[in-house]
Copies of this chain bind each other. A is one copy, B any other.
Amino acid sequence: MNAPEGRRRATVHDVALEAGVSRGTISRYMNGERYVSAEARLAIEAAIEKVGYVPNGAARNLAARRSMAVGFIVHEPHALFLEDPNIGSIMLGANTALSAADYQMVTLIVDSERDTERVARYLSGGFIDGAVIVSARTKDPISRAVERLAMPSAFVGHPPGVLAAYVGVDNRGAAKAITERLVATGRRRIGMIAAALDRDSGSDRLAGFTSALGSRFDPALVEEVPLYSYAAGVAGMQRLLQRAPDLDGVFAASDAVAAGAIEALRMAGRRVPEDVGVVGFDDSTWATRTQPPLSTVHQPAEGLGRAAAEAVLTQLETGDLTFTGTMLPTPIVWRASA
């Protein structure tokens, strides 16, 4: 401890005494309200400086019944949290929007049963006025808490199981669009490495692929892998190549998968894009690290975070928690892999 043991932290009371005004006036000054005379202001500023006053957040929250903080809740499996290249961008995007509105973003990560309970309590505890939620789960204790508290909130990624605002992208439409683009380059035998079919994003991307191909769709050209990972991409491509050696185009469910696929193709002696055209999904850091760089679907991660935060802010301002679903555009970025 640096501070002398006996010295309490200064309170509004101390400032009031020092400045010769009432606590009410201090409060008004602190909150930038009108009705504070110039002289009072000056006296208060001097007093604050002199006694070293720093407001106590808990007391403030208690009395005002709001915290000026919004939670950013990440509820993804351990591995996914580390792998997902988008999550950091979503976070920064949300922080940008909240910061501009002078809200403190507090990120809570849920990585165990214990965390789930504790975070749910945190939500109920009045520490945050709203929440942006990035979650693979639906209808878990956290979503329930948000629902029960009627807390301003927005989900990112998947539509929530509960009735709440939601910001996402049209995975199906985007997958369809990039597949069509690949078809347009003249490829005849196009396969897909479909990943994470247990998640909406995964199954939607497959659905988009199927629908783009229409009658030309051949189920034998779809290889399923469990995760959006590099390793899964390598393995998936190898199996696909074995089943369909004549294939000349591949839609990988994510950039990481595409990177793995390119590696597998290289090992098999196929050239990209000459022999096989490859397209990915996400436009993550992977996209520019492969050789050749990936043609892919741009995922507006930062925009998702910002939009979700803004949805929360709007609910906070208007008090209207009406459900809204927003889809952000996903432009295709055409590079050299197809």
Contact = CB atoms under 8 A, between A and B. Distances in A.
B62 A59 contact: yes
A201 B121 CA distance: 39
Contacts of A99: 111-112, 114-115, 118
Given A56-B62, A67-B58, A118-B102, A96 B111 contact: yes
Contact of A57 (B55, B85, B88, B127): B127
A118 B104 contact: yes
Interface in A84-116: 85, 88-89, 91-92, 95-96, 99-100, 102, 104-109, 111-112, 114-115
A119 B319 CA distance: 26
Tell me the number of copies of this protein.
2
A82 interface: yes
B2 A124 contact: no
A34 interface: no
A99 to B, nearest CB: 5
A76 to B, nearest CB: 10
A42 interface: no
Nearest to A284: B82
A17 interface: no
Contact of A125 (B57, B72, B148): B57
Contact of A92 (B2, B82, B96): B82
A150 B3 contact: yes
A92 B119 contact: no
Given A57-B126, A127-B57, A285 B83 contact: yes
Interface in A179-238: 230
What interface size band does chain A fall in?
A: 35 or more
Interface in A256-299: 259, 263, 285, 289, 291
A106 B121 CA distance: 13
Given A104-B108, A106-B108, A127 B58 contact: yes
Interface in A140-188: 147-148, 150
Contacts of A112: 99
B126 A56 contact: yes
Nearest to A87: B88
A109 B305 CA distance: 14
A107 B109 contact: yes
B147 A2 contact: yes
A319 B1 CA distance: 8
Contacts of A118: 99, 102, 104
Given A57-B125, A106-B108, 12 more contacts: A1-B150, A1-B319, A58-B58, A58-B62, A60-B125, A72-B107, A81-B92, A82-B88, A91-B109, A99-B112, A259-B289, A263-B291
22 contacts: A1-B319, A1-B321, A54-B124, A55-B121, A55-B125, A56-B125, A57-B122, A57-B125, A58-B61, A58-B67, A62-B62, A72-B107, A81-B88, A83-B285, A91-B109, A96-B111, A99-B118, A106-B106, A107-B108, A127-B127, A230-B289, A259-B289
Ranked 7 nearest A-B pairs via Cβ: A57-B125, A107-B107, A58-B61, A58-B62, A106-B106, A1-B150, A54-B124
